[in-house]
Amino acid sequence: MAPSTSPRLAYLGPEGTYTHQAAWDRFRDTVHYTPYASIQDTFNSLSSENPFAVIPLENSTYGSVTESYSVLQSRRFEKDAYVRGVTSLAISHCLTVRKGTKMGDIKRVMSHEQALGQCQGFLSRCLPNAELIRTPSTAAAAQALLNDDERPRESAAICSSICSIAFEDLEILQEGVQDDVSNRTRFMILASSASVPLPRSHESDPSAFRGLLRLSAPQGCRDEGLSVLELLTALDLRVMKIDRRAKICASPFHDEYIVEVTKKRADSTNLVNGISKLTWEKEIQGAIDRVRDLGGEVCVLGLW
């Protein structure tokens, strides 16, 4: 349990989701966790009383999370939120049971249909006669398992490992039961401002010196594709990812781009001197000035 003075952190719920797992792996017991039913609700919860949130950004198999990118397009994001980092989680499914259950006791396995499909090989080998029951989410499967008082030793759930922490009566019977070990999801760490101190982290950020920008050509430009290329060139930064979105404006078929950038080259001198963050902020400001000099529109959504 986090101390009563610890800050609140919102996440895409319910309790036991992979977003909850990603947040727990990063912050452990340094925050109070609050689940929300949707990505939009999680984002809307940001305030001085609820200063942090974690939402999924992209999956290595299924690509960008559309609802999260819609949040990044929100004009409210410019004043009420800031991306302060990312965290990556290997999607590792666990066969979870009520305490005391053995593999031979299991007659049914519950989970989201995608998780059941991702564990088909394991289920065929180890539980070939088990009934497969679909649930709205992997966390819902864990909750259903917890509430199954009629046949508590005959059911299992495929879910994240945090469910065994969130629900005291559950335990992991076997970890890593998915067929594909390369499936990962990246999550955004949001804050209510760029200056609020982040909680103590229990893992290092593997992608330091990153920035997230919202970029668009001037409205009414006939050759928008060329203009976007010119603006990307003006950034003069390494572009790691681009997500194209339809811009919310009066002009039809006008796009804007969520662009993830990083430094052009490692600066070991600044790193040794401990002033890398300052030089990175200066690089971003220079990129912003160059884009605006061309008449482009740019907004900094986050730096880390």
Q: What is the CATH number of the domain that holds 21?
A: 3.40.190.10
Question: Does residue 75 belong to any structural domain of this protein?
Answer: yes
DSSP single-letter state for residue 217 = P
Question: Does residue 126 belong to any structural domain of this protein?
Answer: yes
Q: Indicate whether 80 and 127 sit together in one domain.
A: no
Give the mean pLDDT of the chain: 87
The CB-side HSE value for 6 (13 A sphere, CA atoms) comes to 17
Q: Is the pLDDT of residue 148 over 50?
A: yes
Q: Indicate whether 119 and 156 sit together in one domain.
A: yes
Q: Is the pLDDT of residue 220 over 70?
A: no
Residues 131-142 have pLDDT tens digits of 999 998 899 899
- What confidence category does residue 205 fall into, taking pLDDT thresholds of 50, 70 and 90? low
Number of structural domains the chain divides into: 3
Q: Indicate whether 140 and 288 sit together in one domain.
A: no
Q: Indicate whether 47 and 187 sit together in one domain.
A: yes
Q: Indicate whether 83 and 230 sit together in one domain.
A: no
Question: Does residue 200 belong to any structural domain of this protein?
Answer: no
Q: Is the pLDDT of residue 269 over 50?
A: no
Question: Does residue 157 belong to any structural domain of this protein?
Answer: yes
Classify 163 as helix, strand or coil: helix
Q: Indicate whether 71 and 187 sit together in one domain.
A: yes
Average pLDDT over residues 287-293: 93
